[in-house]
A and B are shown apart, each in its own frame.
Chain A
Amino acid sequence: MPGLTSTMLMSVQSLLADQAALQVTSNNIANANTPGYTREVPDLVETTPTVEGGITYGAGVTLEKVQSIRDQLLDLRISEENQQQSGAQAQVDALNQVQGLFSDSTQGIGADMTAFFNSLSQLSTNPTSIPQRQAVLTDAQNLASSFNQTSVNLSNIQSNLNLNVSQAVNQVNGLTQQIAKLNAQVAQMQQLGQEPGVIQDQETQLVQQLSQLTDVSIIQTKDGQTITTANGSALVVGGQSFALQASADASGVEHIFSQGEDITSSIKNGKLGGLLQVRDQAIPAVLNQLDTLASQFAAAFNTAHEAGTDLNGNAGQAFFSSASGAGAAASFAVVITDPNAIAASSDGSAGSNGNITQLTAVQTQELPSGASPTDSFSNIIFNVGNLTQQAQAESDAATSSLNQLNDQWGAVSGVSIDEESTNLITYQRAFEAAARVISTVDQLTQTVIGMGASG
């Protein structure tokens, strides 16, 4: 039968539950601006009722646990979007450096090629003029050093990206180690029946950081989160982490290995994916176009030049030299040093400018690649600009959907100060009421004791 004592005990339980709830609320308020903090709610449940004489009496409240409010599917979506966004952003950053090499229309390969052909054209008005011949050689050298410089700068960007790749791999390894530790902690707490909310908050934060670095797929298991790379090799399983290795091949290019397997080409997203995409696809494509232009241009110009006669009456020699294939732009050079050796004449006489027509025609004639030198160069500019623009658009799209997902996350897990303030009042009132019950029971007990004394 319910008595004063049990009512008293029930109220004490209420006080404890309300105190705990107040503590949860104040912790929420304290962490309102903590990144990754998911709001917690006190899980208040009815105590098992007592049944006496066919009547069920409620036995008060207990705080079963403090629960973090999270949506694990949403966390997975955010992780995916983080991979996309960071990958695109890394591409944008790297490609912006690449397109910087092609941004100034008043200098560089395009402008120098125009200047070179113009000074040839100028030479046609006075083919015996030594100063004008010298000007042609100077402009040819400027063109050569533009080819060299652009090629070197592209390679430099590439090797910087290479350095970034090995740094990113180190960051990945640091994160997977920490996640594995937290995984173990979560598992242990769950075994002991404890709520691992705080640890999970940290873990989710780290997983998001990891997602910003590389492709990962995440599976929730009873041992915590199992994280694998894009091709399925394990990064974190339970409390164990598996490090990625970055090791350079013969030409110094960093490859990424997961448990002995080269996974470089399967990494598509995250910062690593973006870096690799620019290092292994975008820059080699631009370098290849540049090399093709350099070697085909040198060959076409040499053919035209060798058909003419120089000021000394000798047949024209090769004007430019360039390796064929890879490295053509880097090795592009002017062979001729003597202004007399420019073969302007088509009939052997000094005053003939007949061959200059053939030389200047190289500028607009199709190379074996199917485009004239000028068009080839504008194709390079188009490709660089297009790649950058695409990466930018991808990054913008991913950023806005990431923002939307973060809003959803906030709607589920974010701390609302308004809500917490309301809860504060609710629990305060409940606490006051429970205290009032205790004092009432106290008075009743006094009355009962008084009854005994008088009786």
Chain B
Amino acid sequence: MRVNPNITADILTAIWQTQEQENTALQQVSTGRRVNVPSDDPAAAAALVGNLTSSAQNDQYLQNTSSVEGMLQTADSTLSSVVSVLNQAISLGVQGANGTLSPSDQQGIAQQVIGIQSQVLQLANTSYQGIYIFAGTATTTPPFVADPSALRSHLQRKFWHQYG
């Protein structure tokens, strides 16, 4: 049987095919990726879009939580400070209820309570990076203002009632 005497074309085709496979393998090794163009695996390339989006979203969520975390930590420590100064106010109240105190001592205690009030006010208006954290969504204006006269008159009424 007569066969194709010119086999160089077949040999070259085989060499080219091998070279192409080699190039693909080298590209995979050098990029570390199996899919370098969509036609390498269309379904995988399409899925990659969704996966990259989800992965980036998750990264963003983590970043969001860490930036909110700072704010929450500030809120937490502020609230503990409020609790501790209110505890002080309670013990001052117990102290002031003692009938053996002189009016001037009682007034001194009342002064301290007024001071505590302004501390609590300051804590309630705590801001974190320019945001008033206890202001709900009205984050740009201080949410609380003091009414010192109300507290003073209340204290005076109390003293008047006890000591007539």
Contact = CB atoms under 8 A, between A and B. Distances in A.
B53 A416 contact: no
Given A100-B37, A118-B60, A385 B4 contact: no
A110 B51 CA distance: 11
Interface stretch (A180-188, A221-229, A342-350): A342-350
Interface residues of A, number: 58
Interface string A400-434: 00010011111110111111000000000000000
A412 B2 contact: yes
B52 interface: yes
A122 interface: yes
A102 to B, nearest CB: 6
A378 B9 CA distance: 41
Contacts, number: 144
A363 B52 CA distance: 13
9 closest A-B pairs (Cβ-Cβ)? A385-B38, A410-B4, A351-B139, A385-B42, A388-B39, A416-B5, A382-B46, A378-B49, A349-B137
Nearest to B67: A125
Nearest to A92: B39
Interface of A: 32-33, 95-96, 99-100, 102-103, 105, 110-111, 113-115, 117-118, 121-122, 124-126, 128, 345, 347, 349-352, 363, 374-375, 377-379, 381-386, 388-389, 392, 399, 403, 406-412, 414-419
Interface in B37-73: 37-43, 45-50, 52-53, 56-57, 59-61, 63-64, 67-68
Contact of A385 (B39, B50, B67): B39
Interface of B: 1-6, 9-10, 13, 36-43, 45-50, 52-53, 56-57, 59-61, 63-64, 67-68, 129-131, 135-140
Given A105-B52, A126-B129, A382 B43 contact: yes
Contacts of B56: 114-115, 118
A410 B5 contact: yes
B53, B68, B140: residue with the most chain A Cβ atoms closer than 10 Å = B53
Given A351-B138, A384-B38, 19 more contacts: A99-B37, A102-B38, A105-B48, A115-B56, A126-B129, A374-B50, A378-B48, A378-B50, A381-B42, A381-B45, A388-B38, A388-B39, A403-B13, A406-B9, A408-B4, A410-B3, A411-B2, A414-B4, A415-B6
Contacts of B37: 96, 99-100, 103, 385, 388
Nearest to B42: A385
B138 A350 contact: yes
A335 B31 CA distance: 39
A84 to B, nearest CB: 16
Nearest to A392: B39
A378 B47 contact: yes
Contacts of B68: 125
A381 B49 contact: yes
